[in-house]
Amino acid sequence: MTDAIDPVDQPTPRRKPKEPITTINGRPMKPSTLMMGHGYDPVLSEGSLKAPIFLTSTFAFESAAAGKRHFEGITGKREGGAEGLVYSRFNAPNQEILEDRLAIWDGAEEALSFSSGMTAIAILMLAACKAGDVIVHSGPLYAASEGFVAKIMAKYGVTYVDFPAGATPEELDIVLAKAKAQAEEQGGEVPLIYLESPANPTNALVDVEAVKAARDKHFDPARCPIAIDNTFLGPLWSRPLEHGADLVVYSLTKYVGGHSDLVAGSVSGKKRFIDAIRALRNTMGGITDPNTAWMLLRSLETVELRMERAGQNAEKVCAFLKNHPKVDGLGYLGMIKDPRQQDIYDRHCLGAGSTFSVFIKGGEAECFRFLDALKVAKLAVSLGGTETLASHPASMTHLSVPDERKAALGITDNLVRVSIGIEDPDDLIADFDQALAKV
Ligand code: PLP
C-alpha cells in the first residue's frame, strides 16, 4: 500500500477548511468576524454558503481501517480524540462547527455543546467526581444547579461546601481548608470548584482571581479545575478563563441562543479537562441536536450586536428605575453600592449586562401587580432573549429553595428579575412607567 492511498493516514473528508484563516494582515481576526465562516468550507457541501443541517445518525467510513482508527480516538485508546465523523452521539458537522466557534469567544482550547445548560452542568460534575469527593461551590447557584449538587451528587457519595459569592481571600482560605479536611475524612478529594458569577438571581459577583489563588494554595491545579457558569455575562462582558477559571459553562438557551427559541448548553476550556467531559458525553449522550446546533450558528453571527444593544437598553431602563418612587433599589451591575463587589466588577467585567433585579416597594402582591400590568415586557422566566422578560424568582424559579436560604441569599418577595431585550428603549421605559403606576 502506497502512502498516497493508505486509508489509515488519509484524513476523513471533513467540512473543516484545510487551513482556516484566522488572521488578517498579520493580526488575529475578532470573534464577530470569525462567526461568519470559521470551521466550515462550502466546497465540501456543494458550495452551500451556510452549513447544511446534517440529519444523520451515523457516518460512512472510507475504510474499515479508518473506522478502527476513529474508534481508537473516540474511546481514548489513542491520544487526540476523533479524527473523523463517527456517530451523532459523539460528533457531527453542525455540532463541531458550533464547538469550534464557541471556543473562539472564550479563548478556550476546546468547547463541547450539550442539549441544555443543565446537561452540560450535570455531565461536568459527574465526570469530575467519585464517591467521597467534595465539590466547593459559590452561592447562590441557579436553583437546579444547586439542587443537582445537594441532592443528586449526594446520592453518589459526593458532598459539598459552599461560600457566598462575594467571599474575600481570607474567607476562601477557610472554606477551601474546610473542604480539604472534609474530603480527607470521606476518603476523597476536592475535584471541582464550581462558581456562578453573577449569581442567579442576585447578580452577586465571585472573585475568580481570589478563588484561583486559594485553589493554587490548597490543591493541585491539574486535579481541581475551577469551572464557572458565565451565562449572565458571557461571552461578551466576562472572560473568566483570563482570570483563572479552567472551564466556562453556559446555558446557551440565554444570550448566546438569544431568541428564546432553543435550549442548549456548553462547556469550554482547557483540553485536558474537556477530554474527560467529552468521554462521559460520548457514553451518555447529551450532545446538541443538529437543528439546534445550526440555529446556534446563526445566533452566534449576531451575539455581539444583540448583547451590545441589550446592554445599552438596560443602562437606560435602570437610569429611569433608579429614582422611581415605587422602586426600593436595583441589583444592576452598572450601579453597584458595595465596594467589594465594585472591586470584583472592575477587575472581572467588561459590561454590566442586561439582566438585573428590581426591588419593588411592597412584597409579592405589589410585584404581581407590576408583572401583570406589563405590556411590552413578557411575564416569563429565562433571560438573554431579544425580548424583555420579567419574573418573580421567589415564587417561580426559586420556589423550591427553602425560605431561610432564600432570606440568606437575598431572594426576597419584593424582587422582580428583569432581562432587557433589544426593543426600543423608550418603549420599554414607557412600559415600566405604566406598570409601576399600577402598583
Ligand atoms: N445556569 C444559569 C445561570 C441559568 O440561569 C440556567 C437557566 O435558567 C441554567 C444554568 C440552566 O440552563 P438550561 O435551562 O439551558 O438547562
The reply to whether ligand 1 has any atom less than 6 angstroms from the CB of 255 is: no
Neighbours of 231 (CB within 10 A): 25
The reply to whether ligand 1 has any atom less than 6 angstroms from the CB of 257 is: no
What's the 145 CA to ligand 1 centre distance in angstroms?
8
Residue 265 lies in a domain: yes
pLDDT for position 416: 97
241: Cα within 13 Å, side-chain hemisphere: 21
Of 355, 386, 88, 374, the closest CA to residue 262 belongs to 386
What's the 293 CA to ligand 1 centre distance in angstroms?
17
Residue 34 lies in a domain: no
The reply to whether ligand 1 has any atom less than 6 angstroms from the CB of 231 is: yes
The reply to whether ligand 1 has any atom less than 6 angstroms from the CB of 391 is: no
What's the 254 CA to ligand 1 centre distance in angstroms?
8
Q: Tell me the one-letter amino acid at 212.
A: K
CB-based contact 313:354 (threshold 8 Å):
yes
Q: Which of 113, 231, 418 to mutate to test the pocket of ligand 1 (most atoms within 8 A of CB)?
A: 231
pLDDT for position 3: 34
What's the 229 CA to ligand 1 centre distance in angstroms?
9
Give 68-102 pLDDT, tens digit per residue: 988 888 888 887 777 889 999 999 999 999 999 99
The reply to whether ligand 1 has any atom less than 6 angstroms from the CB of 204 is: no
Which residue, judged by its Cα, is nearest atom 5 of ligand 1?
Answer: 142
Q: Within this chain, do residues 268 and 353 fall inside the same structural domain, yes or no?
A: no
Q: Tell me the one-letter amino acid at 202.
A: T
Residue 232 lies in a domain: yes
Q: Scanning the structure block, which residue is given the C-alpha cell 453571527?
A: 301
Q: Helix, strand, or coil here: 11? A: coil
Residue 197 lies in a domain: yes
CB-based contact 328:414 (threshold 8 Å):
yes
Which residue, judged by its Cα, is nearest atom 8 of ligand 1?
Answer: 382
Residue 26 lies in a domain: no
Name beta bridge partners: 159: 134
What's the 383 CA to ligand 1 centre distance in angstroms?
9
Q: Tell me the one-letter amino acid at 237.
A: W
Q: Within this chain, do residues 345 and 383 fall inside the same structural domain, yes or no?
A: yes
pLDDT for position 15: 57
Q: Within this chain, do residues 319 and 257 fall inside the same structural domain, yes or no?
A: no
225: Cα within 13 Å, side-chain hemisphere: 25
Q: How many domains does the chain have?
A: 2
Domain that holds residue 242: 112-291
pLDDT for position 131: 98
| Residue 102, H or E segment | helix 93-106
Q: Tell me the one-letter amino acid at 35.
A: M
Give me the sign of the Cα torsion angle 394, 395, 399, 404. Answer: positive
The reply to whether ligand 1 has any atom less than 6 angstroms from the CB of 253 is: yes
CB-based contact 186:130 (threshold 8 Å):
no
Which CATH number do you get for residue 382? 3.90.1150.10
Where would I find the beta strands (DSSP E) of 300-431? Answer: 327-331, 355-360, 378-379, 389-391, 415-419
Tell me how far CA of residue 109 lies from CA of 27, 69, 270, in angstroms.
Answer: 19, 23, 5
Residue 397 lies in a domain: yes
Of 371, 374, 355, the closest CA to residue 363 belongs to 371
Ligand 1 closest atom vs CA 254? 15
What's the 249 CA to ligand 1 centre distance in angstroms?
10
The reply to whether ligand 1 has any atom less than 6 angstroms from the CB of 263 is: yes
CB-based contact 345:336 (threshold 8 Å):
yes
Going from the first residue of the chain to its last (439 residues), give the mean pLDDT of each consecutive group of 10, the final group possibly shorter: 35 62 92 95 92 95 90 84 88 96 97 98 98 96 93 98 96 98 98 95 93 98 98 97 98 98 98 95 97 98 98 98 96 96 98 97 97 98 97 92 87 96 98 97
- The CA distance from 414 to 360, in Å, is 5
Q: Tell which of 256, 291, 326 closes a domain.
A: 291
Q: Scanning the structure block, which residue is given the C-alpha cell 477530554?
A: 275
Q: Within this chain, do residues 276 and 370 fall inside the same structural domain, yes or no?
A: no
Tell me how far CA of residue 369 lies from CA of 325, 382, 412, in angstroms.
Answer: 16, 20, 16
Which residue, judged by its Cα, is nearest atom 13 of ligand 1?
Answer: 117
Q: Within this chain, do residues 371 and 230 fall inside the same structural domain, yes or no?
A: no
Residue 79 lies in a domain: no
Q: Within this chain, do residues 124 and 272 fall inside the same structural domain, yes or no?
A: yes
Q: Within this chain, do residues 245 and 189 fall inside the same structural domain, yes or no?
A: yes
The reply to whether ligand 1 has any atom less than 6 angstroms from the CB of 251 is: yes
The reply to whether ligand 1 has any atom less than 6 angstroms from the CB of 332 is: no
pLDDT for position 11: 41
Q: Scanning the structure block, which residue is given the C-alpha cell 473562539?
A: 104
- The CA distance from 225 to 276, in Å, is 12
- The CA distance from 204 to 192, in Å, is 21
pLDDT for position 400: 84
The reply to whether ligand 1 has any atom less than 6 angstroms from the CB of 203 is: no
CB-based contact 287:88 (threshold 8 Å):
yes
